[in-house]
């Protein structure tokens, strides 16, 4: 009976992958000199679904680092946990901490049955937390990126986020926002690529944006029709 179950999982995995997404979560006190834990999940955030086991194998292909307030970068090593991969770093100074994950080495995928064609997937993850005050220092680094333009803080009515594509503002970009309670809403950036997020209090806010670059090309000796860029920003408000 085990083989049919395994075969069924392998058959459904591509569909599962397309319905699911990756996101980051940061856990810590928010105090200088204390540890912060970053966790990378795969599943359905809005439904509280966090996958386990083989479904997490894709996280191994991400390169992870943390950008410190002074502009220096430290590599992070993600280790498997029960339902995620995680790493830890210590907040040594006040300011903006940015955890950055990227996977731009995935093989070309045939997703024609999902109406996406033959694509090269590229995935970007960013998690931002403001520790002990300090100035905000968040700038775009990915091809498709989302960066806060004002400090995310509890009690603040709104946080402005800039969505960029290839280094320039991405106007009228469709965005999905997941609130700390799991509720989702669909938003659109303005003509300058800016998005205003209304805070409902402390917690984690996840901003998802996709862009399909329909310029054909070749990667690892395989032709593709488009590059699917996917970005998820986690804003941690303490």
Reference 213, options 116, 140, 142, 147; nearest CA is 116
Q: What Rg, from alpha-carbon coordinates, does the chain have? A: 18
**pLDDT at 212 exceeding the cut of 80:** yes
Share of the chain above pLDDT 70, in %: 90
Q: Which residue has the higher pLDDT, 11 or 158?
A: 158
Q: How far apart are CA 83 and CA 51, in angstroms?
A: 6
Spatial neighbors of 110 by CB under 8 A, at least 6 apart, are: 118
Per DSSP, what are the bridge partners of residue 74?
A: 66
Mean of pLDDT values over 18-24: 82
Q: Is 168 exposed, middle or buried (0-12, 13-18, 19+ CB in 10 A)?
A: exposed
Residue 7 in this model has a pLDDT that exceeds 60: no
What rounded mean pLDDT belongs to the chain? 88
pTM of the model: 0.88
User: What are the residue boundaries of the structural domains of the chain, listed by start?
Assistant: 2-237
pLDDT at 12 over 70: no
CB 69 within 8 A of CB 41: no
Instruction: Quick: pLDDT tens for 152-186.
Output: 766 666 788 999 999 999 999 999 999 888 888 99
């Amino acid at each position: 009976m085990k083989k049919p179950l395994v075969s069924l999982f392998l058959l459904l995995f591509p569909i599962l992958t397309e319905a699911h997404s990756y996101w980051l979560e940061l856990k810590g006190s928010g105090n200088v000199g204390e540890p912060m834990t970053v966790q990378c999940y795969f599943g359905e955030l809005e439904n509280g679904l966090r996958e386990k086991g083989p479904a997490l194998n894709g996280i191994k292909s991400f390169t992870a680092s943390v950008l410190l307030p002074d502009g220096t970068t430290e590599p992070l090593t993600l280790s498997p946990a029960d339902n995620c991969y995680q790493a830890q770093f210590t907040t040594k100074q006040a300011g903006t901490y940015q955890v950055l994950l990227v996977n731009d080495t995935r093989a070309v995928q045939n997703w024609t049955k999902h109406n996406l064609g033959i694509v090269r997937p590229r995935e970007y993850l960013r998690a931002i937390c403001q520790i002990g005050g300090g100035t905000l220092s968040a700038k775009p680094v990915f091809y498709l990126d989302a960066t806060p333009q004002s400090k995310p803080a509890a009690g603040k009515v709104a946080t402005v986020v800039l969505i960029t594509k290839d280094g320039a503002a991405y106007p009228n970009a469709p965005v999905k926002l997941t609130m700390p309670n799991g509720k989702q809403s669909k938003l659109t950036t303005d003509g300058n690529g800016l998005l205003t997020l209304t805070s409902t209090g402390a917690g984690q806010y996840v901003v998802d944006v996709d862009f399909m670059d329909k310029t054909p090309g070749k990667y690892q000796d395989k032709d593709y029709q488009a590059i699917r860029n996917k970005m998820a920003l986690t804003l941690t408000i303490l």
